Amino acid sequence: MMKELVFATNNAHKIEEVADAAGNQFKILRLKDIHCNDEIEETGTTFRENASIKTHYIFNKYGLDCFGDDSGLEIEALYGEPGVFSARYAGEHGNHAANIARVLDQMEGVTNRKAQFKTVISLLWKGQEYWFEGIVHGTIHTEVSGNLGFGYDPIFQPEGYPVTFAEMSLQEKNNISHRGKAMAKLIDFLKKL
């Protein structure tokens, strides 16, 4: 029987990526699936803190084993920005077009286009917290390219690939992405429990 595991998010794109990465090992449940419609405030100053806030909230309220992530884009020339503010970089939470526009505006004329996507996953399993991290290095495009994926995918070109994340299939992206790498570590860990 497939084990169920709560992912502390209602972000449909993240759920799709994680369910694909989990394969048939685990059934990934969204917050909606456990009847949680609460907006969990990300008040941390690091990816690790924000991931932990989500898992502790669910574990403390529902008593369920769960995992949560926080991810973001870190651009070298912008001193690591947008970082933990990636989802709300232009002000409004989740406005991908505005966030991309702000990054492109700030990067105009900048020659150092190095960046990385980072994911930190917090897993609360039987009251114990575990951590998993994934990083993918790349560069920032000067314009939007591709219409797959979400967030900053249309302007992020992973190292060693001629296309952006938004030009890759979900499987291609998951094989090399920050979230895919972190999820692979999480799944490997869970298989050994």
Task: Compute the distance between CA of residue 73 and CA of residue 82 in angstroms, rounded to an integer.
Answer: 6
Asked if the peptide bond before residue 82 counts as cis, ω within 30 degrees of 0, the response is yes
- The residue ranking higher by pLDDT, 21 or 86, is 86
Torsion 69-28-12-54 (CA) sign: negative
Give 171's pLDDT tier (boundaries 50, 70, 90).
confident
Q: Which residue has the higher pLDDT, 19 or 32?
A: 32
Q: Which residues are annotated as a binding site for substrate?
A: 9-14, 71, 150-153, 173, 178-179
pLDDT at residue 1 in the model: 59
d(CA 183, CA 189): 10
Comparing 7-16, 39-48, 127-136, the range with the smallest average pLDDT is: 7-16
Per-residue pLDDT, 4? 82
- pLDDT interval class at 63 (50, 70, 90): very high
Q: Tell me what the pLDDT averaged over the chain comes to.
A: 92
Predicted confidence band of residue 81 (pLDDT cuts 50, 70, 90): very high
At residue 33, the 3 state secondary structure works out as: helix
- Torsion sign (Cα): 142, 168, 89, 80: negative
- Catalytic residues, by residue number, are 70
For the chain, domains (ranges, CATH) are: 3-191 (3.90.950.10)
What would the pLDDT profile of 90-99 be if each residue is shown by its tens digit? 988 778 999 9
Owner of token pair 């991309």 = 100
Binding-site residues sit at: 9-14, 41, 70-71, 150-153, 173, 178-179
Long-range pairs for 33-41 at CB < 8 Å and ≥24 separation?
A: 33/6, 34/6, 34/58, 34/62, 34/64, 36/61, 36/62, 40/8
pLDDT band at 170 (very low <50, low <70, confident <90, very high): confident
pLDDT value of residue 144: 96
Q: Cα angle vertex 69, ends 65, 73, to 5°?
A: 175
3-state SS, one letter per residue, for 80-145: CCEHHHHHHCCCCCCCHHHHHHHHHHHCCCCCCCEEEEEEEEEEEECCEEEEEEEEEEEEECCCCC
